């Protein structure tokens, strides 16, 4: 049998666990990391193997998660639950360069994953872990995207999915996905922060496998965004990688992944990570600036509902990652997020509102001189434009209140005759 090259380690007290039975936390309460035996891999892993897999006929090889499987979760290939996630595009756009004031900006569009968000990578790893552990039921609390991803990957694995969402704030498109993929979908009348803690308690008591941020395997999938990004760049390390921050798993995962590549000597330096929060849901920004622990917010307010999180679960892991990468946290207003969204959409790329906090943040950090114009910046767009239909329609119909001021592209109507259509064509500006 092959030697096992990973274990679970507590980020607080360094206690170790084999990971062969379901476990989300250490006995001391600390969060767990999947720690790979870098020494066992050093010298045996090379980027050529990972590059070659990209062009394989085998779906698992081609997956943007499993092509890096040696340092994701080395399991028998029959255990892998994949929809060939990843393989997302990296866009350069003169329009976005102008908008942000940068020479070199690239946007990796994780909304191009199978269910339309970066969550597919983490859920591919999470469902694989569930299968490895012999689980049959999985659950998560979600602002919508994790739920859609979990529902799809559970269906792929033949497992039952139970999804919990805060009532009334989840975009209809995301709810549709959970229902369509066959998940039991339950709305609870409270905000996401309370929901997450309630679901954790209930699932632990009920023996359902939890796939929220307390699950260490999800980070292993999400970190591959960074691996694939480097691969897209021919293993050139960008100066900055910029991501939106909600529950803060994504930023933590990216930093962990870069650290591993650095320790494997596959990259010679680490990119700096910038986490961008909505100003109305900014506990991590406040904590980072004041060098204090996160103080949960009782109320959050942002139209970017995917990142409306007041008590981020993974802030300690994210902070560790920022320290390790000389990173930082910035906040942006809803107006700034919306302006960035209009620019990303009008560039022909399009993305979910929360994703566009990335671009708004880059613009702000360039303005303040933190990011230098000539540096290479990669922003992660986390969700697809179609996740957020109401925002787009309401904005362009002038129904977003103060936020609708500015350029709108209203839906037009003409009578069903040639003259009316010609009239419209002549007046298009």
**Binding site residues, ligand F0G, CB under 6 A:** 117, 119, 142-146, 244-250, 306-307, 352, 354-355, 382-383
Q: What is the CA radius of gyration of the chain?
A: 21
Half-sphere exposure of 162 (CA within 13 A, CB side): 14
Q: What is the C-alpha to C-alpha distance for residues 310 and 298, in angstroms, rounded to an integer?
A: 7
Min CB(233)–ligand F0G separation in Å = 22
- Please say which residue, 144 or 173, places its beta carbon nearer to ligand F0G: 144
C-alpha–C-alpha distance, residues 88 and 158, integer Å? 26
- Minimal distance, residue 197 CB to ligand F0G, in Å: 14
Q: How far is residue 383's CA from residue 270's CA, in Å, rounded to a whole number?
A: 25
What is the smallest separation between the CB atom of 422 and ligand F0G, expressed in angstroms?
41
Of the pair 230, 273, the CB lying nearest ligand F0G is at 273
> Considering beta carbons, is residue 114 or 249 the nearer one to ligand F0G?
249
* Cβ nearer to ligand F0G, comparing 61 with 191: 191
In the complex, the smallest distance separating the C-beta of residue 43 from ligand F0G, rounded to whole angstroms, is 33
Q: Smallest distance, Å, CB 143 to ligand F0G?
A: 4
Shortest CB 220 distance to ligand F0G, Å:
14
Which residue has 């040696």 as its token pair? 70
Whichever of 128 and 382 has its CB closer to ligand F0G, that residue is 382
C-beta closer to ligand F0G: residue 175 or 346: 175
The token duo for 292 is 């204090």
The distance of closest approach from Cβ of residue 403 to ligand F0G in the complex, given in angstroms and rounded to an integer, is: 18
- Closer CB to ligand F0G, 271 or 361, in the complex: 361
Nearest approach, Cβ of residue 386 and ligand F0G (Å)? 12
Q: Which is nearer to ligand F0G, 63 or 143 (CB)?
A: 143
């Amino acid at each position: 049998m092959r030697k096992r090259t990973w274990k679970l380690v507590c980020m607080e007290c360094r206690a170790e666990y084999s990971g062969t039975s379901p476990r989300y936390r250490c006995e001391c309460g600390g969060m767990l990391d999947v720690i790979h035996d870098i020494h066992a891999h050093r010298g045996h892993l090379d980027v050529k193997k990972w590059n070659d897999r990209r062009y394989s006929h085998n779906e698992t090889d081609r997956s943007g998660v499993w092509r890096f499987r040696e340092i994701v979760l080395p399991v028998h290939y029959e255990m892998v639950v994949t929809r060939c996630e990843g393989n997302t595009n990296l866009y350069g756009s003169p329009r976005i360069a102008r908008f942000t004031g940068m020479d070199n900006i690239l946007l990796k569009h994780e909304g191009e994953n199978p269910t339309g968000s970066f969550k597919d990578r983490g859920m591919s790893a999470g469902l694989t872990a569930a299968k490895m552990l012999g689980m049959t039921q999985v659950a998560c609390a979600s602002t919508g995207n994790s739920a859609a991803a979990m529902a799809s990957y559970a269906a792929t694995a033949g497992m039952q999915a139970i999804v919990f969402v805060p009532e009334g704030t989840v975009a209809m498109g995301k709810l549709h996905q959970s229902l369509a993929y066959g998940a039991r979908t339950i709305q609870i009348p409270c905000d996401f922060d309370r929901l997450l803690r309630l679901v954790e308690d209930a699932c632990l008591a009920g023996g359902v496998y939890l796939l929220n941020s307390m699950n260490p395997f999800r980070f292993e999938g999400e970190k591959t965004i960074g691996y694939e990004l480097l691969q897209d760049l021919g293993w050139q390390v960008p100066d900055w990688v910029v991501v939106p921050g909600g529950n803060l798993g994504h930023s933590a995962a990216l930093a962990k992944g870069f650290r591993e590549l650095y320790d494997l000597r596959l990259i010679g330096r680490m990119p700096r990570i910038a986490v961008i929060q909505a100003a109305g849901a900014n506990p991590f920004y406040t904590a980072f600036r004041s060098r204090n622990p996160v103080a949960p917010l009782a109320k959050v307010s942002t139209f970017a509902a995917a990142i409306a999180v007041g008590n981020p679960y993974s802030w300690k892991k994210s902070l560790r990652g920022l320290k390790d990468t000389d990173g930082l946290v910035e906040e942006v207003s809803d107006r700034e997020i919306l302006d960035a969204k209009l620019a990303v959409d009008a560039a022909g790329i399009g993305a979910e509102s929360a994703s566009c906090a990335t671009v708004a943040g880059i613009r702000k950090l360039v303005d303040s001189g933190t990011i230098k114009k000539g540096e290479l910046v990669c922003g992660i767009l986390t969700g697809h434009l179609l996740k957020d239909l109401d925002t787009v329609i309401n904005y362009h119909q002038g129904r977003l209140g103060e936020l609708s001021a500015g350029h709108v592209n209203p839906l037009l109507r003409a009578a069903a005759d040639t003259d009316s259509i010609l009239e419209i064509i002549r007046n298009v500006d």
